[in-house]
Structure 1
């Protein structure tokens, strides 16, 4: 069987980023961390850092060796939360030093894009009542941090 692993490329502070990410998401761990032992286009031997980590049960690899291109919204991490308290906690910690965006999106201080959403959002938007789904989508599009109670209220009309 083949393994599929997401890769993230940091220009700086990879260790701090991975410590934060793995401390916030249950089912996460820093699995290994090393330095590339050979000279590479990213720098001399030992200057390029590589780490493997698990985030919410999904495998990732990270590099720290400067960043030829920044993170974009084309690749983001979506975290579905059960409660508003989880949303609030992730929003505060990941948004610290970063950039808060619309519709449950934020960028952390390393520039990585995150979508912090309630699991309930998908249920409300995929439900059989299409008028309720439209109201929920319209409410979500007006929010910055997503609010479960407000989404539920929009669904009810």
Structure 2
């Protein structure tokens, strides 16, 4: 296979607005091409397609995009930008203003959950959180 695999996101006439919104949040991001039906864009070098498909299909939590963050400042940045006109959920999950689901998680979470002496306490801690708090997870 010579072609890459990338997601196509179905919007109700707001593909360009969404692409501009996301490109304003993620570093190294840009709109690659556009026409009235499709907007191709990159977020941190990863290709996406936005399709103006109409109101037939809606986003849901069955598909989400995971953003792993190295520090609390990164978590705060992505969380605050993506929840602007969106909605918070639990355990680092959120929906942005277009209804796309995201998980904003610290990169250290995998190692914390792999430590058998801490895993249950860390799990209990993040189950109480909306936005992830690295300090509370480390100290759990």
Please report how far the alpha carbon of residue 131 of structure 1 lies from its aligned counterpart in structure 2 after TM superposition. Answer: 2.5
Q: Which residue of 2 aligns with 1:150?
A: 136
When Rg is computed on C-alpha atoms for both structures, the one with the higher figure is: 1
Q: Quick one: distance in 2 between partners of 1:23 and 1:5?
A: 20
* Residues matched between the structures, number: 139
Structure 2: tracts of 5 or more residues without a match = none
Q: Quick one: distance in 1 between partners of 2:4 and 2:78?
A: 28
Q: Which residue of 2 aligns with 1:44?
A: none
Q: Which residue of 1 aligns with 2:117?
A: 131
Q: Which residue of 2 aligns with 1:4?
A: 5
C-alpha distance after superposition, 1:74-117 (max 9, x if no partner): 11111111111111111111101111101101101110001111
Q: Quick one: distance in 2 between partners of 1:106 and 1:91?
A: 8
- 1:110 and 2:98 matched: yes
Structure 1: tracts of 5 or more residues without a match = 36-48
TM-score, normalised with respect to structure 2: 0.92
Provide the alpha-carbon RMSD of the alignment. Answer: 1.3
Please report how far the alpha carbon of residue 146 of structure 1 lies from its aligned counterpart in structure 2 after TM superposition. Answer: 0.4
TM-score, normalised with respect to structure 1: 0.83
